[in-house]
Structure 1
Amino acid sequence: MTYATTPDGVRIAYQLQGGQGQGGQSGQDSEGTPTLVLLAGQANNHHWWDAVRADFHPARSTLTLDYRGTGDSDKPDTPYSTELFARDVVAVLDELGIDRADVYGTSMGGRVAQQLAARHPHRVGALVLGCTSPGGPHGVERGNDVRRALAQTRPGAARQALLELMYTPRWLDSHPGPHHTLGDPDMPAHARHHHLVASNRHDAWDLLPRIAAPTLVVHGSDDLLNPAANAPLLADRIPGARLHLIPGARHAYFEEFHAQAGPLVLDFLTTAPRGPAQLV
């Protein structure tokens, strides 16, 4: 297992696949393959990406991490925030000697990616925000019916509700699992609570205009867990951002519709105009 240590002494486990060696000022590995950072959803570890990360390897090495509180990372019982998670990503990039990388964040990972791109612009080459929200008073919250479904106490009911928010019934019929997007089952209760608070308190509205990286916003048109109405809010707020809705997709569009989403993201990453790294 490989780790980076954050300035506050927390060990963050990370996983680099699809390339060999460390990075450098170009954000490439030793074989010249650009690095793509993949950021998972709330209370999930790097396995969130297991089903699709190989889709990017023809053009990118992929870097994932276990957020503090998940996977093989330390799990301190202290407050978490999306800004803090973004600083943890920087610690991993520093450990690998990667000055700048492309970043693809989905769900809460998209919130972390917003913080990363706005507060550390010189570290982000291109940005993809999937099924995410600006948070705060400007974000569109899920409906009360969704909240009630996820709060069911009958055994298995809340899990089934989450599955149906993630995937379409047709896909679930042919993909019985295991599903790696339903949360890290080994998280301690305190870490799960800190993740929930971090995501709920995210508010990047005032930061979004500071994002200078070329940005693609992707969302499933039928996403009720993180309503699709958030996608145009992000795209309109981030200078020059592009927007793409995937018809019929729910929250886990990146997995169920990976045959469409993967090439869409790769095409954007390989054609987005790049300027010199910004120094702040």
Structure 2
Amino acid sequence: MPFATCTDQAKIYYEVRGAGEPLVLLSGQANTHHWWDRVHADFAAVHQTIVLDYLGTGQSDKPADAEYSVRRFAGDVISILDELGIARAHVYGTSMGGKVAQWLAVDHPDRVGALVLGCTSVGGAHGLQASPEITRALAQADPERARQVLVDLMYSPEWVRANPGPYGTLGDPSMPVHARRGHLRASNGHDSWAVLDRVTAPTLVLHGTDDVFSPADNAAILAGQIPDAELHYLDGARHAYFEEQREEASAVVLRFLADHPLR
């Protein structure tokens, strides 16, 4: 199995598919690479895609005493690129993966080609959070009811009726408690507001207009902080816009990447 060894010696699992300019796909909080299963083929048909299981998820190590932060996860991506001998790659991050992608572009500008940020936020005082009612509903003791809340945040009822699952976006059930808490701290601790003007990568920001998990106004806030960023809304989409509006979302991303080839 392919693993990269990170600076603290943790092993991070990754997979590579396809051929072409490399593209790293970054999933949401507490999720494995299976987050991308429904749309992965769209990108692997054109690019050499790299997906991974974050520290604490899937087949990667799950140490209790490690640092869990989105900036650390960005460093883990660099370890994978080094393992593969890839000097530069495009990066597409969604939800918490979009936060990881922001730090890749800030901390490692020479390693990032085009940058795509989906359903994500600048975090901190300037990022918009889900309402307290949503947070309480997700934290309720009944796991099946909490799961249903999450499904409703991800997808419209109409799409769920036509696509009954299983869904790869609802979290990794194998995560130990310490890793799940670490991911929550990592995502909640993200704050890139003051450094996003350092992003030099061509950037596309995507967001569903009906996303209340990461409120849709986050997209304009984020795009406004990144020099010359483009902004694209997917009308009527919720948090998992990339699945529910796959045809439009994948086409927009692939067109953007084609317009900004690696140099």
Normalised TM-score (structure 1) = 0.92
Q: 1:248-267 counterparts in 2 under 5 A?
A: 248-267=236-255
Q: Could you list the runs of 5+ residues in structure 1 that have no partner in the other structure?
A: 20-32
1:163-204 Cα distance to aligned partner (Å, 9 max, x none):
000000001111111111000111111100100000000001
Which residue pairs with 1:151 in the alignment?
Answer: 139
Asked if structure 2 preserves the Cα contact closer than 8 Å seen for 1:126 and 1:272, the reply is yes
Asked if structure 1 preserves the Cα contact closer than 8 Å seen for 2:113 and 2:261, the reply is no
Asked if structure 1 preserves the Cα contact closer than 8 Å seen for 2:220 and 2:231, the reply is yes
Which residue pairs with 1:53 in the alignment?
Answer: 40
Question: Shift of residue 155 of structure 1?
Answer: 4.3
Normalised TM-score (structure 2) = 0.97
Question: Shift of residue 135 of structure 1?
Answer: 0.4
Asked if structure 2 preserves the Cα contact closer than 8 Å seen for 1:220 and 1:248, the reply is yes
User: What is the count of residue pairs matched by the alignment?
Assistant: 262
Asked if structure 2 preserves the Cα contact closer than 8 Å seen for 1:214 and 1:273, the reply is no
Q: 1:188-207 counterparts in 2 under 5 A?
A: 188-207=176-195
Q: Could you list the runs of 5+ residues in structure 2 that have no partner in the other structure?
A: none
Q: Which one of the candidate residues 19, 44, 63 is aligned to 1:76?
A: 63
Q: Which one of the candidate residues 131, 148, 167 is aligned to 2:119?
A: 131
2-structure distance, mates of 1:49, 1:239: 28
Which residue pairs with 2:2 in the alignment?
Answer: 2
Deviates more, 1:138-147 or 1:190-199: 138-147
Q: Does 2:22 correspond to 1:41?
A: no
SS at 2:116 equivalent: strand
Which residue pairs with 1:160 in the alignment?
Answer: 148
Partner amino acid for 2:15?
Q
Asked if structure 2 preserves the Cα contact closer than 8 Å seen for 1:150 and 1:161, the reply is yes
RMSD: 1.0
Percent of aligned positions that are identical:
58
2-structure distance, mates of 1:82, 1:57: 25
Which residue pairs with 1:100 in the alignment?
Answer: 88
Partner amino acid for 2:157?
P
Partner amino acid for 2:5?
T
Which residue pairs with 1:121 in the alignment?
Answer: 109
